[in-house]
Chains A and B, each alone.
Chain A
Amino acid sequence: AQSVTQLDSQVPVFEEAPVELRCNYSSSVSVYLFWYVQYPNQGLQLLLKYLSGSTLVKGINGFEAEFNKSQTSFHLRKPSVHISDTAEYFCAVTRSGGGSYIPTFGRGTSLIVHP
């Protein structure tokens, strides 16, 4: 089985500042990794995903994430945040080699962007 840890439940930041949301995973097999975003009163939507290849993945809205296999991490970054980035962010993992296709989600990190 795999698990996902998002250490920060809340990350406050000022507008135009950089931000990093941390995600660590645990799995005995190869995985696919995802970041989802949930804006207020909405469902989750995909920001980006890592399947294979380049460890730096770029997603929508200027976000990017880097897969680090040795540290089992998949941290999400943005060089300059906007007020509209205020949302809940979820890291998720799925086995890549078949078996269960159901993703395991982290607890979520609330990003709060202040003007």
Chain B
Amino acid sequence: ETGVTQTPRHLVMGMTNKKSLKCEQHLGHNAMYWYKQSAKKPLELMFVYNFKEQTENNSVPSRFSPECPNSSHLFLHLHTLQPEDSALYLCASSSRDRVSEKLFFGSGTQLSVL
């Protein structure tokens, strides 16, 4: 148990669906991240929020829309996805004030786009 909870654990959706991934942490961290992990590919940073403000958008397509309503919650809204978007989506959090601080990861949401 890392203190970072992601729901749902698995999600299957069609290309025309709209769904949301949720991430929650109560570790007092002020930075939250979305990563995409595809088979045989490096971990891809998607978005970073620092004190609820988006500080990084790593050229992510607009069909992925992040939302950070407060420092404990992070969402990833999905719409009109493509089959190549099927992957494990990982949320992480850390303390922005300490560069040496490790990232705490959730268990991920395994997404399948049909």
Contact = CB atoms under 8 A, between A and B. Distances in A.
Contact of B43 (A32, A51, A105): A105
Nearest to A46: B102
A34 B94 CA distance: 14
Interface residues of A, number: 23
Contacts of A96: 99-100
Most buried by A among B4, B6, B43, B92: B43
Interface in A69-115: 90, 94-96, 98, 101-103, 105-108
Interface string B86-114: 00001010101001101101111000000
Contacts, number: 51
A45 interface: yes
B99 A42 contact: no
A43 B108 contact: yes
A45 B105 CA distance: 7
A44 B105 contact: yes
Nearest to A51: B100
Interface string A41-57: 11111100101000000
Given A34-B102, A43-B92, A43-B107, 15 more contacts: A32-B99, A36-B103, A43-B2, A43-B105, A44-B92, A45-B2, A46-B102, A90-B43, A94-B99, A94-B100, A95-B99, A101-B94, A101-B96, A107-B41, A108-B43
The 8 closest A-B pairs by CB, nearest first: A43-B105, A46-B102, A107-B42, A105-B43, A44-B105, A101-B99, A43-B107, A51-B100
30 contacts: A32-B100, A36-B105, A41-B107, A43-B2, A43-B6, A43-B90, A43-B105, A43-B106, A43-B107, A43-B108, A44-B103, A45-B2, A46-B102, A46-B103, A49-B102, A94-B99, A94-B100, A95-B99, A96-B100, A98-B99, A101-B31, A101-B94, A102-B33, A102-B45, A102-B56, A103-B103, A105-B43, A106-B42, A107-B41, A108-B43
